[in-house]
Amino acid sequence: MTPLTYDGKITFFERFEADILSGAKTITLRDESESHFRVGDRLSVSTFETGRHFCDIQVVRVEELAFEALNSRHAAQENMTLEQLKAVITEIYGEIQTLYLIEYRLL
């Protein structure tokens, strides 16, 4: 069996770990500084707070998305309500207009 090779790393806040591992969270919304991921990339996933590795993912879709275009489907993919999603994004990024949707699957 060929060992898995990684194309990069990504971090998530610890509060999202259980949702990622259960498959309930299947996308992440990031700012332009993390828009470089490409379909097929295999990423090592760690917690933002401590850098502890907890899984590996593969990117299946990357697309630009306006904050105003967020909808209930995006919220469901993040395993939260639309109001919660908008609040979390604003908490992390402030008044952001353009996001990058990164859809992934667990490896």
Residues carrying an active site annotation = 25, 28, 78
User: Using a CB cutoff of 8 Å and minimum separation of 24, what contacts does 37-41 make?
Assistant: 37/8, 37/10, 37/62, 37/102, 38/7, 38/62, 40/7, 41/7, 41/8
Closest to 30 in 3D by CA, of 62, 60, 56, 55:
62
Greatest distance between any 2 Cα atoms in the chain: 46
